[in-house]
Amino acid sequence: MDPVTRLGVVGCGLMGSGIAEVAALGGLDVRIAEATHDAVEAGRRRVTASLDRGVRRGRLSEERRDQALAGLSFTHDLSDLADRQFVVEAVAENRDIKTEVLRTLDKAVEDPTAILATNTSSIPVVDLAVVTERPAQVVGMHFFNPVPVQRLVEVIPALTTSEETVRRTRDFAGRLGKQVIQAPDRSGFVVNALLVPYLLSAVRMVESGGALPDDIDQGMELGCAHPMGPLRLLDLIGLDTAQAVAESMYEEFKEPLYAPPALLRRMVAAGHLGRKTGRGFYPYDA
Protein backbone atom coordinates (compact mmCIF):
# COMPACT_ATOMS: atom_id res chain seq x y z
CA MET A 1 0.00 0.00 0.00
CA ASP A 2 1.38 3.44 -0.97
CA PRO A 3 2.29 5.80 1.89
CA VAL A 4 -0.23 8.56 2.44
CA THR A 5 0.55 11.69 0.42
CA ARG A 6 -2.98 13.06 -0.06
CA LEU A 7 -4.72 13.84 3.22
CA GLY A 8 -8.20 15.20 3.81
CA VAL A 9 -9.12 17.01 7.02
CA VAL A 10 -12.76 17.76 7.80
CA GLY A 11 -13.23 20.66 10.20
CA CYS A 12 -10.71 23.45 10.66
CA GLY A 13 -11.32 24.49 14.25
CA LEU A 14 -8.78 24.10 17.03
CA MET A 15 -7.99 20.45 16.31
CA GLY A 16 -8.50 20.29 12.53
CA SER A 17 -6.31 23.32 11.88
CA GLY A 18 -3.56 21.81 14.04
CA ILE A 19 -3.75 18.46 12.24
CA ALA A 20 -3.66 20.21 8.86
CA GLU A 21 -0.69 22.35 9.93
CA VAL A 22 1.34 19.39 11.14
CA ALA A 23 0.57 17.38 7.99
CA ALA A 24 1.41 20.28 5.65
CA LEU A 25 4.70 20.83 7.48
CA GLY A 26 5.33 17.12 6.93
CA GLY A 27 5.13 17.71 3.18
CA LEU A 28 1.67 16.26 2.56
CA ASP A 29 -0.90 17.55 0.12
CA VAL A 30 -3.67 18.53 2.58
CA ARG A 31 -7.21 19.42 1.56
CA ILE A 32 -9.35 20.90 4.33
CA ALA A 33 -13.13 20.83 4.20
CA GLU A 34 -15.28 23.17 6.27
CA ALA A 35 -19.04 23.58 6.27
CA THR A 36 -19.35 27.12 4.92
CA HIS A 37 -17.38 29.76 3.08
CA ASP A 38 -16.96 31.77 6.30
CA ALA A 39 -15.73 28.70 8.19
CA VAL A 40 -13.22 28.03 5.39
CA GLU A 41 -11.88 31.57 5.69
CA ALA A 42 -11.68 31.36 9.50
CA GLY A 43 -9.84 28.03 9.18
CA ARG A 44 -7.41 29.46 6.65
CA ARG A 45 -6.68 32.38 9.00
CA ARG A 46 -6.14 30.01 11.93
CA VAL A 47 -3.58 27.84 10.13
CA THR A 48 -1.82 30.84 8.60
CA ALA A 49 -1.61 32.64 11.95
CA SER A 50 -0.11 29.59 13.62
CA LEU A 51 2.52 29.17 10.87
CA ASP A 52 3.29 32.92 11.00
CA ARG A 53 3.78 32.65 14.75
CA GLY A 54 6.27 29.83 14.14
CA VAL A 55 8.25 32.15 11.85
CA ARG A 56 8.09 35.04 14.34
CA ARG A 57 9.35 32.82 17.15
CA GLY A 58 12.21 31.53 14.96
CA ARG A 59 10.94 27.92 14.99
CA LEU A 60 10.16 27.93 11.25
CA SER A 61 11.87 29.44 8.23
CA GLU A 62 9.75 31.58 5.89
CA GLU A 63 10.48 29.02 3.18
CA ARG A 64 9.03 26.13 5.23
CA ARG A 65 5.97 28.18 6.10
CA ASP A 66 5.42 29.01 2.43
CA GLN A 67 5.88 25.36 1.43
CA ALA A 68 3.34 24.29 4.04
CA LEU A 69 0.85 26.93 2.89
CA ALA A 70 1.34 25.81 -0.72
CA GLY A 71 0.46 22.26 0.34
CA LEU A 72 -2.91 23.34 1.78
CA SER A 73 -6.12 23.69 -0.15
CA PHE A 74 -9.60 24.47 1.17
CA THR A 75 -13.12 23.55 0.16
CA HIS A 76 -16.63 23.61 1.57
CA ASP A 77 -17.68 20.57 -0.46
CA LEU A 78 -16.87 17.12 0.92
CA SER A 79 -16.97 15.68 -2.60
CA ASP A 80 -13.69 17.55 -3.23
CA LEU A 81 -12.07 14.93 -0.97
CA ALA A 82 -12.79 12.20 -3.58
CA ASP A 83 -9.10 11.49 -4.34
CA ARG A 84 -7.87 11.38 -0.72
CA GLN A 85 -6.03 8.30 0.63
CA PHE A 86 -6.66 9.17 4.27
CA VAL A 87 -9.20 11.52 5.82
CA VAL A 88 -9.30 12.71 9.44
CA GLU A 89 -12.56 14.20 10.60
CA ALA A 90 -12.24 16.77 13.37
CA VAL A 91 -15.69 18.36 13.45
CA ALA A 92 -17.55 19.29 16.65
CA GLU A 93 -17.82 16.60 19.33
CA ASN A 94 -21.43 15.83 18.44
CA ARG A 95 -22.61 12.34 17.57
CA ASP A 96 -25.17 13.43 14.94
CA ILE A 97 -22.74 15.73 13.15
CA LYS A 98 -19.94 13.15 13.15
CA THR A 99 -22.30 10.41 11.95
CA GLU A 100 -23.42 12.57 9.04
CA VAL A 101 -19.83 13.47 8.13
CA LEU A 102 -18.70 9.81 8.16
CA ARG A 103 -21.68 8.77 6.03
CA THR A 104 -21.02 11.52 3.48
CA LEU A 105 -17.26 10.93 3.41
CA ASP A 106 -17.80 7.23 2.80
CA LYS A 107 -19.70 8.07 -0.37
CA ALA A 108 -17.37 10.88 -1.43
CA VAL A 109 -13.97 9.18 -1.08
CA GLU A 110 -13.51 7.05 -4.19
CA ASP A 111 -10.75 4.64 -3.15
CA PRO A 112 -12.53 1.93 -1.10
CA THR A 113 -9.25 1.18 0.70
CA ALA A 114 -8.87 4.81 1.86
CA ILE A 115 -8.99 5.21 5.63
CA LEU A 116 -11.54 7.39 7.40
CA ALA A 117 -10.22 8.37 10.82
CA THR A 118 -12.20 10.15 13.50
CA ASN A 119 -10.63 12.51 16.00
CA THR A 120 -13.53 11.97 18.40
CA SER A 121 -12.60 12.42 22.05
CA SER A 122 -15.25 10.16 23.48
CA ILE A 123 -17.79 8.77 21.00
CA PRO A 124 -17.38 5.00 20.49
CA VAL A 125 -15.55 4.54 17.19
CA VAL A 126 -17.62 1.51 16.27
CA ASP A 127 -20.79 3.63 16.27
CA LEU A 128 -19.24 5.81 13.56
CA ALA A 129 -17.70 2.86 11.66
CA VAL A 130 -20.97 1.02 11.16
CA VAL A 131 -22.67 3.93 9.39
CA THR A 132 -20.20 3.47 6.52
CA GLU A 133 -19.79 0.75 3.89
CA ARG A 134 -16.13 0.39 4.96
CA PRO A 135 -16.16 -0.34 8.72
CA ALA A 136 -12.78 -2.11 8.41
CA GLN A 137 -11.21 1.17 7.26
CA VAL A 138 -12.66 3.37 10.01
CA VAL A 139 -10.45 4.02 13.03
CA GLY A 140 -10.09 6.45 15.91
CA MET A 141 -7.12 8.81 15.67
CA HIS A 142 -7.20 11.11 18.67
CA PHE A 143 -4.87 14.11 18.71
CA PHE A 144 -4.21 16.44 21.66
CA ASN A 145 -4.41 20.18 21.93
CA PRO A 146 -2.38 22.10 20.79
CA VAL A 147 -1.77 19.54 18.03
CA PRO A 148 1.56 21.01 16.83
CA VAL A 149 2.93 20.70 20.38
CA GLN A 150 1.49 17.54 21.94
CA ARG A 151 3.36 14.48 20.77
CA LEU A 152 0.71 11.87 21.46
CA VAL A 153 -1.86 10.27 19.18
CA GLU A 154 -4.22 7.61 20.51
CA VAL A 155 -5.07 5.05 17.82
CA ILE A 156 -8.37 3.37 18.60
CA PRO A 157 -9.40 0.31 16.63
CA ALA A 158 -13.14 -0.40 16.70
CA LEU A 159 -14.29 -4.02 16.80
CA THR A 160 -14.69 -3.72 13.02
CA THR A 161 -11.29 -2.12 12.23
CA SER A 162 -8.81 -4.27 10.28
CA GLU A 163 -5.23 -4.84 11.42
CA GLU A 164 -4.04 -3.32 8.14
CA THR A 165 -5.92 -0.10 8.95
CA VAL A 166 -4.35 0.04 12.41
CA ARG A 167 -0.89 -0.52 10.95
CA ARG A 168 -1.33 2.18 8.29
CA THR A 169 -2.74 4.64 10.84
CA ARG A 170 0.16 4.04 13.23
CA ASP A 171 2.62 4.54 10.34
CA PHE A 172 0.86 7.70 9.30
CA ALA A 173 0.90 9.14 12.84
CA GLY A 174 4.60 8.33 13.04
CA ARG A 175 5.21 10.23 9.81
CA LEU A 176 3.54 13.25 11.41
CA GLY A 177 6.13 13.01 14.19
CA LYS A 178 3.65 11.68 16.73
CA GLN A 179 4.11 8.93 19.29
CA VAL A 180 1.26 6.40 19.24
CA ILE A 181 -0.48 4.55 22.02
CA GLN A 182 -3.21 2.08 21.19
CA ALA A 183 -6.37 2.68 23.20
CA PRO A 184 -9.51 0.64 23.78
CA ASP A 185 -12.75 1.69 22.10
CA ARG A 186 -14.43 2.74 25.33
CA SER A 187 -15.60 6.29 25.89
CA GLY A 188 -12.67 8.52 26.86
CA PHE A 189 -10.13 5.98 25.55
CA VAL A 190 -7.02 6.15 27.79
CA VAL A 191 -6.20 9.81 28.32
CA ASN A 192 -9.62 11.41 28.69
CA ALA A 193 -10.79 8.55 30.92
CA LEU A 194 -8.13 9.68 33.39
CA LEU A 195 -8.06 13.40 32.63
CA VAL A 196 -11.76 14.28 32.56
CA PRO A 197 -12.67 13.25 36.15
CA TYR A 198 -9.70 15.32 37.34
CA LEU A 199 -10.81 18.39 35.36
CA LEU A 200 -14.40 18.03 36.54
CA SER A 201 -13.24 17.66 40.15
CA ALA A 202 -11.50 21.03 39.82
CA VAL A 203 -14.76 22.60 38.58
CA ARG A 204 -16.59 21.08 41.57
CA MET A 205 -13.97 22.56 43.87
CA VAL A 206 -14.69 26.04 42.45
CA GLU A 207 -18.42 25.37 42.54
CA SER A 208 -18.36 24.46 46.22
CA GLY A 209 -16.42 27.62 47.05
CA GLY A 210 -13.54 25.46 48.24
CA ALA A 211 -10.82 27.28 46.33
CA LEU A 212 -10.27 30.01 43.76
CA PRO A 213 -9.40 29.00 40.16
CA ASP A 214 -5.93 30.52 40.30
CA ASP A 215 -5.12 28.75 43.57
CA ILE A 216 -6.24 25.42 42.12
CA ASP A 217 -4.21 25.98 38.94
CA GLN A 218 -1.12 27.15 40.75
CA GLY A 219 -1.45 24.17 43.06
CA MET A 220 -1.17 21.72 40.19
CA GLU A 221 1.40 23.76 38.23
CA LEU A 222 3.79 24.40 41.10
CA GLY A 223 3.00 21.37 43.22
CA CYS A 224 2.86 18.72 40.50
CA ALA A 225 4.74 20.38 37.60
CA HIS A 226 1.73 20.25 35.28
CA PRO A 227 2.28 22.72 32.40
CA MET A 228 -1.10 24.23 33.17
CA GLY A 229 -3.62 23.69 35.95
CA PRO A 230 -7.02 22.07 35.31
CA LEU A 231 -9.07 25.26 34.87
CA ARG A 232 -6.57 26.88 32.53
CA LEU A 233 -6.55 23.58 30.62
CA LEU A 234 -10.36 23.55 30.43
CA ASP A 235 -10.21 27.06 28.98
CA LEU A 236 -7.74 25.78 26.36
CA ILE A 237 -9.78 22.68 25.46
CA GLY A 238 -13.06 24.64 25.35
CA LEU A 239 -15.77 24.20 27.97
CA ASP A 240 -18.32 23.07 25.36
CA THR A 241 -15.98 20.32 24.17
CA ALA A 242 -15.24 19.30 27.76
CA GLN A 243 -18.97 19.13 28.51
CA ALA A 244 -19.62 17.02 25.40
CA VAL A 245 -16.81 14.62 26.31
CA ALA A 246 -18.04 14.32 29.90
CA GLU A 247 -21.59 13.65 28.69
CA SER A 248 -20.46 10.82 26.39
CA MET A 249 -18.43 9.28 29.18
CA TYR A 250 -21.28 9.60 31.67
CA GLU A 251 -23.68 8.06 29.17
CA GLU A 252 -21.37 5.06 28.79
CA PHE A 253 -20.36 4.42 32.41
CA LYS A 254 -23.00 6.18 34.56
CA GLU A 255 -20.07 7.08 36.80
CA PRO A 256 -20.93 10.23 38.85
CA LEU A 257 -17.37 11.56 38.51
CA TYR A 258 -17.94 11.87 34.74
CA ALA A 259 -21.18 13.87 35.06
CA PRO A 260 -20.69 17.52 33.97
CA PRO A 261 -21.07 19.75 37.05
CA ALA A 262 -23.80 22.41 37.03
CA LEU A 263 -21.21 25.22 36.93
CA LEU A 264 -19.73 23.82 33.70
CA ARG A 265 -23.20 23.62 32.13
CA ARG A 266 -24.03 27.19 33.20
CA MET A 267 -20.78 28.55 31.79
CA VAL A 268 -21.41 26.79 28.48
CA ALA A 269 -24.98 28.14 28.43
CA ALA A 270 -23.56 31.64 29.02
CA GLY A 271 -21.11 31.26 26.13
CA HIS A 272 -18.11 31.36 28.46
CA LEU A 273 -16.33 28.64 26.53
CA GLY A 274 -12.72 29.51 27.36
CA ARG A 275 -10.00 31.05 25.21
CA LYS A 276 -11.98 30.81 22.00
CA THR A 277 -14.73 33.14 23.24
CA GLY A 278 -12.45 35.39 25.29
CA ARG A 279 -13.88 34.21 28.61
CA GLY A 280 -13.89 31.01 30.61
CA PHE A 281 -12.51 30.58 34.12
CA TYR A 282 -10.24 33.48 33.12
CA PRO A 283 -10.61 36.46 30.74
CA TYR A 284 -8.64 36.47 27.45
CA ASP A 285 -8.01 38.97 24.69
CA ALA A 286 -10.63 38.21 22.05
Residues near ligand 3HC (CB under 6 A): 50, 57, 59, 121, 144-146, 148-150, 192, 195, 227-228, 233, 237, 241, 245
Measure the CA–CA gap between 110 and 107, rounded to whole angstroms. 7
Return the number of the residue (136 or 180) whose C-beta is nearest ligand 3HC: 180
**142 part of the active site:** yes
**162 part of the active site:** no
Calculate the alpha carbon distances from 278 to 114, 136, 251 in Å. 39, 41, 30
Do 139 and 162 meet the contact criterion of CB atoms below 8 Å apart? no
**121 part of the active site:** yes
Return the number of the residue (11 or 136) whose C-beta is nearest ligand 3HC: 11
**187 part of the active site:** no
CB of 242 to ligand 3HC, least distance (A): 7
Residue nearest to ligand 3HC (CB): 121
Return the number of the residue (57 or 254) whose C-beta is nearest ligand 3HC: 57
Measure the CA–CA gap between 245 and 241, rounded to whole angstroms. 6
Do 116 and 85 meet the contact criterion of CB atoms below 8 Å apart? no
Determine which one of 187, 192, 247, 272 is catalytic.
Answer: 192
SS3 category, 28: coil
Residues 6+ apart with CB under 8 A from 214: none
Determine which one of 50, 119, 121, 248 is catalytic.
Answer: 121
Determine which one of 142, 187, 247, 248 is catalytic.
Answer: 142
CB of 179 to ligand 3HC, least distance (A): 14
What string of DSSP letters covers 226-246?
Answer: -SS-HHHHHHHH-HHHHHHHH
Instruction: Give the residue numbers annotated as catalytic, written as ranges.
Output: 121, 142, 154, 192
